[in-house]
Amino acid sequence: MYFFKKKHVIAALTFTFLFLLTVPLKANPGGFTDDELKSFANAVVQVISIQQQGQAQMIEKIEEEDMTVQRFNEINMQAQEMPIEQVDMTEKEAESYIVLLEEIEQIQIGLEDVLIGTIEDAGITIEKYEEIMTEYQQNPELQQRVQELMR
């Protein structure tokens, strides 16, 4: 899809679910407190749900423009690699694509606000969430500890 400002936050959040279901571990990895990790785990569960809702909204918008998600992604990939005028698409697809870019941007902006609020409501700052996420993606012990706290 098309990414905008603060894409590192959204990207980190997007891949969270994949990392939550993997690898076994030990006691207090990463030096984070149990409270921080519990807040992180709580936020991740909510973030996944919100992201799934946002993705469903984007798919709905794409389909409302009589385009498939696959075709939108094909056009979007080409548009990132070359000038839009050179992208292989019909005039109708071009019109739909331009409309969709704006609609998807608005959805993403709204999601960003909701995601930030959700993370903060879970009792953790965005900075701490990102710090834990970075460590979580690299540390199997931390992954296991978070999984244990989610039970």
> Distance (Å, rounded) from C-alpha 118 to C-alpha 114?
6
Question: Which amino acid type is present at position 37?
Answer: L
Nearest to 98 by CA among 85, 81, 115: 85
> Distance (Å, rounded) from C-alpha 110 to C-alpha 105?
9
Question: Six-digit token pair at 80?
Answer: 């990132």
The beta strand positions in the chain, using DSSP E, are: none
Q: What is the mean pLDDT of the chain?
A: 84
C-alpha torsion sign, points 20, 21, 22, 26: positive
Q: Could you tell me the residue ranges of all domains in the chain?
A: 8-16+34-150
Nearest to 4 by CA among 127, 130, 109: 109
pLDDT per residue as tens, the chain (151 positions)? 444 444 444 444 444 444 444 444 344 567 899 899 999 999 999 999 999 999 999 999 999 999 999 999 999 999 999 998 899 999 999 999 999 999 999 999 999 999 999 999 999 999 999 999 999 999 999 999 998 888 7
pTM: 0.70
Share of the chain above pLDDT 90, in %: 73
